[in-house]
Amino acid sequence: MSTPSATPDLPFRATTDEACAWLAQQTATPWTLARLIEQGLTPYVWLDYDAAYPELFGDANGGYAAPIFYEGDTQRLAAGSADVLITITKDAYKIVTRLPEPGFRRELHALRFLKKEVEKLAGRLKHEAEAAARPPRLETARESQFGIPKAEVLAAFGRLARLDLDQALDEAIGIFGDDGARVKASAKKSRRNAVWNPVTLALGLHDVYGVPIGSLKRAFKSHDFLYGWSQDWEQSLALLGK
């Protein structure tokens, strides 16, 4: 009598094939590079030290794993490009940097995905599947009068817009105030109690500050505390034709 094969352990930095095979076993659905990116995973490539770019490597004289997060670069991969083109990444000190034109090219087999991020994705998908299997409730987990606190707003959107989001939330002007995404009455007793509707806020960040929809979509897929808002987010995008 044959026994089912055990799920192989993921290496610390998994290849595309390894990540896809592992997720296929976890979810019983096929996986591709495009789907990995669509689900918010960040691909990495190892950059060997190059003395021509000392500011990029700093003290990492052996090289480092550079993330590919710029939407133009990831969309190119998802569309089926024959190689990797990195135009914007983070340096060895995790500071966002634009690479010299035309960017760095690498072979597709050089792509890697972090084990912890792949496992987190599997956990999220399992959570979503279990939630979908439960009978629908008459009310949503968070009605429109509720929102997410400042710490969660910063965790989800803090790095996406070119502004001091922490300060903007405190000032509560425009899209950050009661006439925008902040839930009215949530800050009456104390500003510490203020909450913001993440869907309204995300749309405002796109319209007012030009944050790409793709980056906002990844934010909703990457944070557990936004799961309950995903349906409202998708419906809003559909209504707006985004």
> What pLDDT tens digit does each residue of the chain (242 aa) get?
434 444 568 999 999 999 999 999 999 999 999 999 999 999 999 999 999 999 999 999 899 999 999 999 999 999 999 999 999 999 999 999 999 999 999 999 999 999 999 999 999 888 888 777 766 544 444 444 478 888 898 988 988 888 888 888 888 888 888 777 787 665 565 667 788 889 988 898 988 888 999 899 999 988 888 888 888 899 888 888 87
Residues 214/75, Cβ–Cβ less than 8 Å: yes
112 and 162 housed in the same domain: no
Residue 213, classified by CB atoms within 10 Å of its CB into exposed (0-12), middle (13-18) or buried (19+), is: middle
Does the residue 5 lie in any domain? no
| Tokens (6 digits) for 183 | 């839930």
Cα(80)–Cα(76) distance, integer angstroms: 7
Range of the domain at 217: 142-240
Does the residue 22 lie in any domain? yes
Does the residue 220 lie in any domain? yes
176 and 99 housed in the same domain: no
Residue 80: per-residue pLDDT: 92
69 and 162 housed in the same domain: no
165 and 87 housed in the same domain: no
Cα(240)–Cα(220) distance, integer angstroms: 17
For the chain, what is the domain count?
2
Does the residue 4 lie in any domain? no
113 and 157 housed in the same domain: no
26 and 81 housed in the same domain: yes
71 and 166 housed in the same domain: no
Does the residue 8 lie in any domain? no
Q: Which of 9, 3, 40, 10 is nearest to 128 (CA)?
A: 40
158 and 95 housed in the same domain: no
26 and 112 housed in the same domain: yes
149 and 234 housed in the same domain: yes
Residue 223: per-residue pLDDT: 87
Residue 5: per-residue pLDDT: 46
159 and 225 housed in the same domain: yes
Does the residue 155 lie in any domain? yes
Residue 17: per-residue pLDDT: 95
C-alpha angle with apex 71: 155 to 82, nearest 5 degrees? 140
Residue 100: per-residue pLDDT: 92
Cα(11)–Cα(32) distance, integer angstroms: 18
Does the residue 124 lie in any domain? no
Does the residue 131 lie in any domain? no
Residues 36/120, Cβ–Cβ less than 8 Å: no
Q: What are the Cα distances from residue 171, in Å, to 65, 125, 149?
A: 38, 36, 15
Residue 4: per-residue pLDDT: 43
In which residue are the tokens 């590079």 written? 33
160 and 91 housed in the same domain: no
